[in-house]
Amino acid sequence: MKAFGRCTRLLVSLIRPAAVAAAPAIAPAQPQLSTNQQELRSQQSAVKEELQSQQSTLEVELQPQQSTFEEDSMTEEGFLLVNIWNTGSLKQCLRNLIACFKKINHPIQFEAAHSPNGSSCSSPTQFEYTYRDDLVHKNNNDQCQPFKSLFLLDQGDIYPIDYGKLLQLEDMIHKQSVKPGSQQLLYDLFEENSNVVDSFLCDFFNSVGLSIDAWTCMVDCESAKRCVMNFKVMAGLLCLMKSELNEVECVSFDQDLKDCYFALCARQPIQNLIDAADLVSKWKWSASDIYPMLILYEAIADVLRAISDPNVSSRIFLQMQVNFEGIFDRIKIFIGANLNGSCEITHDRHPMTNFLIHSMELFANHNSIVRCIFVADATSSLGDLVLEVIRYWADELKRHSDSYAEGKRYIFLLNNMTHFTWETKKPLQVLVPNSEYGKIIEFLESLITMYTTEYLVKCWGPVGKCVELSSGSKPCLASLGEFILHFEAIINCQGTWVLETNLKNKLREEIKNYITPCYRTFLQELRKKLLLRSMLLIRKHCSGQQGKYMTAEQLDNHVDNLFESGT
C-alpha cells in the first residue's frame, strides 16, 4: 500500500506567472514505488518505443504534410489527448480514500451550525433538552478526537495516469521542442486546451458526489461529517495526482511543464476548495457547535497545507481566528441563559458545569488547530479567554445559588467548583501555557477555599458555638444537648449532598478541625465542673435521652461517615 501523505515539500508558486498566476499550487504527496508501479514504468518505455516506431512510419508516408501535422497535433489532436487522467483509476482511488477516512470516523454531537448571517436551525431550548444526555462523553473520549489528516489517507495501489495518453502527449511536446520559442508555445497550447482538463476534473468530482453545494448545508451531523470528508478526500486526491505526475519520467515533459499543466488541470477544483474554506471560516458558531467547528477548521488547515498559497492561508486563518475568539462570547451567553433560567433547586452539579468541562476537553483534544488559529498577534491570549469564560461561569453559578438555603448553597458551589477543577486539570494543562494555567488554578482554588470557609462558618458555626467557652463562661449540660441536636440535624440533612469522594474527604477533615477541638475542651471542662457526678448523669441530661452523649473520638467517627447516607 502506498501512503501518499509523506509530504516533504510545498510548491509555493508555479513556474509560468502569465498562465497560472491565479492558480495556487498543490502539495504533492510523496509516493513509494510498489511492484505494480515499477511494472507500469517498464510498460511505459515499451509503449513509448512502439508509438515512436509507428510515428516514424507515419512521418515517412506523410512527408509532404509533416509541418501541418505537427501543428494540428497540438491543436486538434492535442485537444483530445491533453487529458492524461484515467477516470476509472481516479474513481477507485477516491473509493479507497473514502474508505480510509471512514475507518477513523467519529460521531459528531451538535445541533446545527450557523450561516454567515448568523441564522441557525436550532434553538437554545432544543439544545438544553438534548445536552444532558448527549454532550458529556466521559466514557467515550473518541468522540472528542480529531479526524485523520488527509496526508495520512491511503489510496491503495491505484495510479490515476493513463500512460498511453501520456506518451502521446510527450511525443507531441517533443515535436514542438525543436522549434524556436517552443517553451512559450507549449504554455500557450496548454492554456488554450485548459478547458478540457479543467472541466474534466470538475465534472469528475460532481459525478462522484463531491459537490461544493453540499458543503454549505450544515444542518445536521451527517452534513458536517460529509463536509469534512469532502474537504480532505478532494484535496487528498489532488495531492495524489500531483505526486503521480511529478514521478513520471519524461524528458520532454519536464517539471516546469508538469507544474503548468497541473495548475491548469486543477485550477477550478482548487478554487472550489478555497471558496468552501472561505465560507466555512466566516460562519458564526454557536456554543453548541464547538466540535463541528474544530473538525472543520482542521479540515481547512489540511487543505491550506496542501494548497500552498500564503496569501490565501493568512486570510482564511485570520477569519477563523476572529470567529474562534467569538465562540467564547457565545459560550458565556449560553451559560448565562441556562443558569439564570428556571431550574430546580438542587445540590447537584449544574448542566452548565458539565458543558464547560466538555468544551475545555474539546479544545484540548483539538489543541493543534486551536494553537494554529490562535497566532501570537491575536488580540487576546488563549489563557485570558479561557479564564474570562471560567470567571463568568463562576459568577453566574454564584448568582444562581443565591436562592438556595445556606447549607445547600455552599455545597452546590463546592460540588461544581471542585468537579470542574479536577476534571479540567489535564485539558487545561494541554490547552494553555503553564503561566496562564497557574492563573486559572489559582482563581479556582481561591473560590474553593472561600466557599469551604463560608460553609464551615454558616453551617457548623452555630454547632461549634454551643460548646465554645468564651472568657469566664462555664460549660453546662444544656449546651451539650444543644450541640448534639444541631450536629445530628446536619448529619441527617446533608448525608447525600456531596458528590465527589475527594471533596467528601476534604470537608470531613475541615469539619473535624473546626469543631472537634472545641468539643474536646468543652467535655474536659464539663467533667471538672461536675466533679463526682457520674457520666451516666451527663448522658441523661443530653436532650433527655439515653445514649446521645459522644466522646471526641466518637464525634470524629460520626463526621467520617458524613455525606455517605441520609440517616
Instruction: Indicate the residue among 244, 273, 305 that finishes a domain.
Output: 305
Q: Are 19 and 260 in contact (CB under 8 A)?
A: yes
Q: Is 488 part of a structural domain of the chain?
A: yes
Give me the CATH number covering residue 399: 1.20.58
Q: Are 272 and 316 in contact (CB under 8 A)?
A: no
Which of 511, 508, 540, 517 lies closest to 468, judged by CA?
A: 517
The secondary element (H helix, E strand) that includes residue 107 is none
| Whole-number pLDDT of residue 199 | 73
Rounded to the nearest 10 degrees, the angle between the axes of helix 87-103 and helix 221-247 is 130
In this structure, are 194 and 329 located in the same domain? no
In this structure, are 478 and 444 located in the same domain? no
Q: Is 112 part of a structural domain of the chain?
A: yes
Which residues span the domain enclosing 85?
Answer: 35-61+68-137+144-305
Instruction: In whole angstroms, give the CA distance from residue 39 to residue 157.
Output: 12
In this structure, are 249 and 330 located in the same domain? no
Instruction: Indicate the residue among 456, 486, 511 that finishes a domain.
Output: 456
In this structure, are 193 and 297 located in the same domain? yes
Q: Is 25 part of a structural domain of the chain?
A: no
In this structure, are 333 and 448 located in the same domain? yes
Instruction: In whole angstroms, give the CA distance from residue 367 to residue 430.
Output: 7
In this structure, are 204 and 273 located in the same domain? yes
Q: Are 250 and 170 in contact (CB under 8 A)?
A: yes
Task: Measure CA 400 to chain center.
Answer: 30
In this structure, are 383 and 518 located in the same domain? no
Q: What values do phi and psi take at 322, rounded to 5?
A: -60, -45
**Cell reading at 179:** 522549434
The amino acid present at 297, given as its one-letter code, is Y
In this structure, are 51 and 169 located in the same domain? yes
In this structure, are 507 and 417 located in the same domain? no
Mean pLDDT by 10 residues, the chain (567 residues): 34 34 53 49 54 43 35 41 78 83 50 33 27 33 49 65 80 70 69 68 77 53 74 84 83 79 82 85 84 85 80 86 89 89 63 93 89 67 92 94 85 94 93 91 96 92 82 72 85 81 89 88 79 55 54 86 66
Instruction: In whole angstroms, give the CA distance from residue 414 to residue 564.
Output: 17
Instruction: In whole angstroms, give the CA distance from residue 347 to residue 3.
Output: 54
Q: Is 23 part of a structural domain of the chain?
A: no
Q: Are 499 and 415 in contact (CB under 8 A)?
A: yes
The secondary element (H helix, E strand) that includes residue 299 is helix 290-306
pTM of the complete model: 0.70
| Whole-number pLDDT of residue 486 | 86
Buried b / exposed e across 30-45, counting CB within 10 Å, b at 16+? Answer: bbeeeeebeeeeeebe
Four-point Cα dihedral 81, 85, 87, 90, nearest 10? 180
How many CB atoms lie under 10 A from the CB of residue 201?
Answer: 23
**Cell reading at 5:** 501523505
Torsion sign (Cα): 330, 336, 342, 344:
positive
| Whole-number pLDDT of residue 541 | 53
In this structure, are 49 and 169 located in the same domain? yes
Q: What values do phi and psi take at 378, rounded to 5?
A: -65, 155
Q: Is 513 part of a structural domain of the chain?
A: yes
Instruction: Indicate the residue among 305, 331, 361 that finishes a domain.
Output: 305
| Whole-number pLDDT of residue 239 | 85
3-state helix, strand, coil in the chain (%, to 5): 70, 0, 30
Q: Is 95 part of a structural domain of the chain?
A: yes
Instruction: In whole angstroms, give the CA distance from residue 238 to residue 27.
Output: 9
**Cell reading at 282:** 466566516
In this structure, are 129 and 246 located in the same domain? yes
Instruction: In whole angstroms, give the CA distance from residue 187 to residue 19.
Output: 7
Burial-class residue 127 by CB neighbours within 10 Å (0-12, 13-18, 19+). buried
Q: Is 1 part of a structural domain of the chain?
A: no
Q: How many domains does the chain have?
A: 3
Q: Is 229 part of a structural domain of the chain?
A: yes
In this structure, are 345 and 295 located in the same domain? no
DSSP code string of 192-241: HTHHHHHHHHHHHHHHTT--GGGGG--SSHHHHHHHHHHHHHHHHHHHHH
Q: Are 383 and 432 in contact (CB under 8 A)?
A: yes
Q: Are 397 and 338 in contact (CB under 8 A)?
A: no
Four-point Cα dihedral 145, 147, 152, 158, nearest 10? 140
Identify the DSSP state of 374.
Answer: S
Residue 27, helix vs strand vs coil: coil
The rounded radius of gyration (Å) of the Cα atoms in the chain is 36
